[in-house]
Structure 1
Amino acid sequence: KIVNLKELKNSDGNFNKTQRIELNALLHIDYYNLTKFYGTVKFDEGVFGVFEYGERGCLRHVLNDKVSYPEETFMDWEFKISVMYDIAKGMSYLHASSIQVHGRLKSTNCVVDNRMVVKITDFGCNAFLSSSKDLWTAPEHLRNQDTSQKGDVYSFAIISQEIILRKSTFYTQSCCDRSEKLSRVMTSCLRPDLNFETASEKELEVYMMIRSCWDEDPEKRPDFKKVENCLGKAISKIHNQDESYMDNMIRRLQMYSRNLEHLVEERTALYKAERDRADCLNFMLLPGPVVKSLKETGVVEPELYDEVTIYFSDIVGFTTLCQYSTPMEVVDMLNDIYKGFDSIVDHHDVYKVETIGDAYMVASGLPKRNGNRHAVDICRMALDILAFMGTFQLRHLPGIPVWIRIGVHSGPCAAGVVGMKMPRYCLFGDTVNTASRMESTGHR
């Protein structure tokens, strides 16, 4: 069973009488909105309290995760009220118990289980854990480092604002700095933002309750029993009837189930879109039959083709052109030329094999066999490329003609995929070598 370990600082495991009484009181706490305390354990690193584990993490994490728990389909007003209701019920029970006060109530000390029930943790253990000055801390306790039940009510109000707005803790447009917020809470009654002007009638009642909970005067703050009753009435108004604990839980699980279905559909659509993008890229780099074979079996068997035609071309005087061009101008030149070549290739039954520098290689008759039409298709493509180069103008050297050499040869050829990382579809045989030599030895 997974549990949560909380370090009990300043303890070596030899508990005094006061500490034993406190730990024994924790063991007797058993309420569904409070995490169960199982005992203590000692490791080399120190002594730890063993608490019940919240499978979905702390409430702060759930509020921040707007992908898994979207506002529109999951974190609606009804669910937010239910979350506040869970906390209020847990605190009402805790205040009535021998523990009496939490002292460290905040959204990171509220955990969510796999049934979407919020449970309060980190209560008790006051002999081991000291309270700190946080944005959830009541102003009177920021001044005197004390704890009280009314201070817990103030902390609940700050958590409630987090739940409603799903923004940063103690969100206010007038101040962003944490230290400044703490200072102004103590000196000028600064409070987080809640938009009363745009609130609906059902929201306004809850907003008024939250405002009373963070009142500057602790005596004017309601106790958790009143808070619990107020939120219970708000839930009843939503459903026009009183809702039992089981009804509430079933409703939450149904809501979470609907949200999961929506999330699965959304993620599936994203997966399909990414898969299609990957397939499109693969089909641009490798022949279609090769891509399908790699996806299905992970291997591609080399093939021997009896009749293919291979085309090679390169730019005449490419080295000289590079001397009068910057590196970026060379890239732009090759990109302009090869985009034109690629558009021509698309109109013929040929397959572009690769480009290396200024060399351009095309084949016909593989990987899709086309009888004895391979030579005709390559030659027609070559004539179209020559026509294109006849009108091509360099952007950075206008008026300078660009010539290409072309070599073509027909014959048998072997083809296969080479390599695992960045695999390449390569052609082998004398036909390839002959076509390459015809191109390199060609004359104008």
Structure 2
Amino acid sequence: VLFELKHMRDVQNEHLTRFVGACTDPPNICILTEYCPRGSLQDILENESITLDWMFRYSLTSDIVKGMLFLHSGAICSHGNLKSSNCVVDGRFVLKITDFGLESFRDPEPEQGHTLYAKKLWTAPELLRMASPPARGSQAGDVYSFGIILQEIALRSGVFHVEGLDLSPKEIVERVTRGEQPPFRPSLALQSGLEELGQLMQRCWAEEPQERPTFQQVRLMLRKFNRENSSNILDNLLSRMEQYANNLEGLVEERTQAYLEEKRRAEALLYQILP
């Protein structure tokens, strides 16, 4: 446990939640991490009142890739439970990955139930087929999970959305585990111009782990899609606010001129009426 805690303390990256501390005294075993006020990526995607243009979506996607690149290159090695509810957004709209490491702190999950199957919608097929999959999962399994999240971000239709089918999480997990031909995967009903993004998703959720790209390769592919890769979401938001302020100033000036013109006409009319 102390070895795992040291690893968590050493993990310092902008796109991973900061580990604050832990309580190891039963029964009050808990982990304390950085708080992100914007909630999870899943919350944001499911909130229809939040408008997400593609600049925003690419920024969130890029943050996941940066965090996973750091995680895969360190002592923790892999996540094992990557999903949209484990991606949280801070006050600056920077996405951070959470719920990694500290396998010794985790209770074994129940073997049945809707909640368990819902959690497995992001799990790679080779891990689903294992009787006792490793708690850390695998790097290829993390890439599969990222592909499922990418479809969530692109369509905003929920996790593992399949066009024309209303399947329960259990039915979806069973079909993925079965290894159908072609493999059972989410829909790719993307708008025009996003074909390369669809191809990236398909590569990420390939049936064979060795056929999936690494996060280093994913980052290179995403750079082709996102021409604003060098700027973060806050820079873009500030730019928009500046543009909005300029437009507002122009509108105020226009309305002021219209008001002065109406005032001039009213005064002219008043002078005509008065003796």
TM-score range, shorter chain: 0.7 to 0.9
Given the alignment of the two structures, is residue 243 of structure 1 paired with residue 230 of structure 2, yes or no? yes
Check conservation: 1:175, 1:181, Cα contact below 8 A: no
Counterpart of 1:199 in structure 2 is 192
1:253 Cα deviation (Å)?
Answer: 4.9
TM-score, normalised by the number of residues in structure 1: 0.48
Distance 1:76 1:45 in 2: 45
Counterpart of 1:60 in structure 2 is 42
Consecutive unaligned residues in structure 2, runs of 5 or more: 110-115, 245-275
Instruction: Flag the 1:41–1:127 CA change in 2: closer, same or farther, 3 A.
Output: closer
Distance 1:217 1:180 in 2: 21
Check conservation: 1:235, 1:243, Cα contact below 8 A: no
Given the alignment of the two structures, is residue 140 of structure 1 paired with residue 126 of structure 2, yes or no? yes
* SS class of match (1:50): strand
Consecutive unaligned residues in structure 1, runs of 5 or more: 1-18, 260-444
Distance 1:79 1:51 in 2: 25
Distance 1:94 1:225 in 2: 12
Q: 2:175 aligns with which of 181, 184, 189?
A: 184
Given the alignment of the two structures, is residue 233 of structure 1 paired with residue 224 of structure 2, yes or no? yes
Aligned residue runs from structure 1 range 208-227, under 5 A: 208-227=199-218
1:257 Cα deviation (Å)?
Answer: 9.0
Q: 1:170 aligns with which of 157, 160, 179?
A: 160
Give 1 or 2 for the bigger CA radius of gyration.
1
Check conservation: 1:57, 1:113, Cα contact below 8 A: yes
Check conservation: 2:93, 2:233, Cα contact below 8 A: no
Q: Give the partner amino acid of 2:217.
A: K
1:256 Cα deviation (Å)?
Answer: 8.0
Relative to its length, the structure with more strand (as a share) is: 1
Check conservation: 1:41, 1:48, Cα contact below 8 A: yes
Distance 1:55 1:136 in 2: 24
CA deviation vs aligned residue, 1:221-278 (integer Å, no higher than 9, x gap)? 0011111122133222xx4xx514xx5431145558999xxxxxxxxxxxxxxxxxxx
Instruction: Flag the 1:49–1:34 CA change in 2: closer, same or farther, 3 A.
Output: same
Counterpart of 1:344 in structure 2 is none
Check conservation: 1:151, 1:218, Cα contact below 8 A: yes
Check conservation: 1:116, 1:253, Cα contact below 8 A: no
Distance 1:36 1:252 in 2: 24
Distance 2:217 2:128 in 1: 25
* SS class of match (2:82): coil
Check conservation: 1:136, 1:158, Cα contact below 8 A: yes
Q: Which runs of 4+ in 1 moved over 6 A?
A: 256-259
1:45 Cα deviation (Å)?
Answer: 5.2
CA deviation vs aligned residue, 1:355-396 (integer Å, no higher than 9, x gap)? xxxxxxxxxxxxxxxxxxxxxxxxxxxxxxxxxxxxxxxxxx
* SS class of match (1:46): coil
Instruction: Flag the 1:44–1:139 CA change in 2: closer, same or farther, 3 A.
Output: closer
Distance 1:256 1:181 in 2: 43
Aligned residue runs from structure 1 range 16-415, under 5 A: 19-41=1-23, 46-67=28-49, 69-70=50-51, 75-129=52-106, 134-144=120-130, 145-146=133-134, 147-173=137-163, 174-187=165-178, 188=180, 189-195=183-189, 198-200=191-193, 203-236=194-227, 239=228, 243-244=230-231, 247-254=232-239
How many residues align? The count is 227
Distance 1:62 1:258 in 2: 25
Check conservation: 1:99, 1:124, Cα contact below 8 A: yes
Instruction: Flag the 1:83–1:258 CA change in 2: closer, same or farther, 3 A.
Output: farther
Instruction: Flag the 1:36–1:183 CA change in 2: closer, same or farther, 3 A.
Output: same
Query: Which protein has greater RCO, CA pairs closer than 8 Å, 6+ apart?
Result: 2
Q: Give the partner amino acid of 1:54.
A: C
Check conservation: 2:94, 2:233, Cα contact below 8 A: no
Relative to its length, the structure with more helix (as a share) is: 2
1:167 Cα deviation (Å)?
Answer: 1.4
Check conservation: 2:29, 2:105, Cα contact below 8 A: no
Distance 1:255 1:102 in 2: 35
CA deviation vs aligned residue, 1:54-102 (integer Å, no higher than 9, x gap)? 11111111111111x12xxxx0112111111110110011000100010
* SS class of match (2:101): coil
